[in-house]
Amino acid sequence: MKKVIYLDNAATTRTAPEVVEAMLPYFSEFYGNASTVYGLGSASKKAMNESRDTIAAALGAKSEEIYFTAGGSESDNWALKATAEAYKSKGNHIITSKIEHHAILHTCEWLEKQGFEVTYLDVDEDGKVKLSELKKAIRPTTILISIMFANNEIGTIQPVKEIGEIAKEHGILFHTDAVQAFGQLPINVDEMHIDMLSASGHKLNGPKGIGFLYIRKGVKIRSFVHGGAQERKRRAGTENIPGIVGLGVAAKRAVESMPERTSKEIELRDYLIERVLKEIPYSRLNGHRRDRLPNNASFCFQFIEGESLLIMLDMDGICGSSGSACTSGSLDPSHVLLAIGLPHEIAHGSLRLTLGEETTKEDIDFAVESIKKIVEKLRSMSPLYEDFVKKNK
């Protein structure tokens, strides 16, 4: 196989070798069910508790506030559905934003069918929620605000602490989808007034199919899976011990390496952004210039189709994305790019490159040269571009 330049770390990441190594004994050596009394089961339980402690420490939370789930989508579903249910006697109104992940948006649409009312806040041209709009949207019946920590497509980081303060002032629960942020940005649930937080292992060099929901002590929340007494009776099912161990190790290494890794990523990201904007005409950066995920660069190129660009990049061994992995395969432009005010024809020409811990300057240089060549080629075949050039001569 030829060398792959993997620039789609927002879709998923490579499981780090030491994460895999830490998980392996929990498949066939320490395979006991954590709910049993014998030593083999206790080994599983001990490993699970250690992982829970690591994650709690990373957030400034208590261990008993961390609930393991099967990933980000489940955590998002649980946070919204189960608080809506538990607090419906208090009110039926939920506030979210137009640029959330579909795990939030589609859950909100489902809740609307159950009789809840949802306000989808607009964002500004950088993708930030406007705090004044948030305050205006609050009603006496508002029970929950769910705003993502950082956007998976355009990388914009939200003013989470300010949102948390507003929620707290009004006695409203605050959930944040931190799937992209956990392991990339420092998070403290107390300082930021976060009541619930979703995260997922495979976005931080951990395994797929494991994640967690942080639920602040005292928040009323219904069980998500009924059955056994696992996860304080709130999420039944024999625990995914190898996954939990892997998630713990991934979280530990992400937190420990954060300052050095992210400053390197920011440097490479800015180098990538600068080169693309300077060397490719009619290109734009999506998302906030500064307040963005250390590894995210999102562009739009006029007069081309993002899908064609992706296919040709793949031929050069480069993995990128045109929006989020979840919307690829659909021809609609990304809801996020439309929400920041881009017209359809520009939103169609999008490219998201997300760096990882292994990305090098050589990778970026190779990618930029490849993008330049492909964009030029695609434009040379575009009647729209031809017209545009003629008109502007």
Q: Closest CB to ligand PLP among 175 and 203?
A: 203
Q: Which of 108, 300, 319, 326 is catalytic?
A: 326
Q: Measured from the CB of residue 199, what is the shortest distance to ligand PLP in angstroms?
A: 9
What tokens does 209 get?
Answer: 């199919």
Residues 311-370 that bind ligand PLP (CB under 6 A): none
Beta-bridged to residue 297, according to DSSP, are 353
Query: Of residues 72, 183, 207, 349, which one binds ligand PLP by CB under 6 A?
Result: 72
Q: Measured from the CB of residue 140, what is the shortest distance to ligand PLP in angstroms?
A: 30
Contact segment (CB under 6 A) with ligand PLP among 39-47, 50-58, 174-182, 311-319 equals: 174-182
Q: Closest CB to ligand PLP among 283 and 323?
A: 323
Residue 214: CB atoms within 10 Å: 27
Is 108 one of the catalytic residues? no
Q: For tokens 């009110």, what's the residue?
A: 91
Residues 88-117 that bind ligand PLP (CB under 6 A): 101, 103
Residues 191-210 that bind ligand PLP (CB under 6 A): 200, 202-203
73 makes contact with ligand PLP (CB under 6 A): yes
CA distance 197 to 219: 12
295 makes contact with ligand PLP (CB under 6 A): no
Q: Closest CB to ligand PLP among 103 and 167?
A: 103
Q: Closest CB to ligand PLP among 177 and 239?
A: 177
179 makes contact with ligand PLP (CB under 6 A): yes
Contact map string, positions 113 to 152, toward ligand PLP, x by CB under 6 A: -----------------------------------x---x
Q: Closest CB to ligand PLP among 175 and 379?
A: 175
- Which spans of this chain sit near ligand PLP (rule: CB under 6 A)? 71-73, 76, 101, 103, 148, 152, 177, 179-180, 200, 202-203, 211
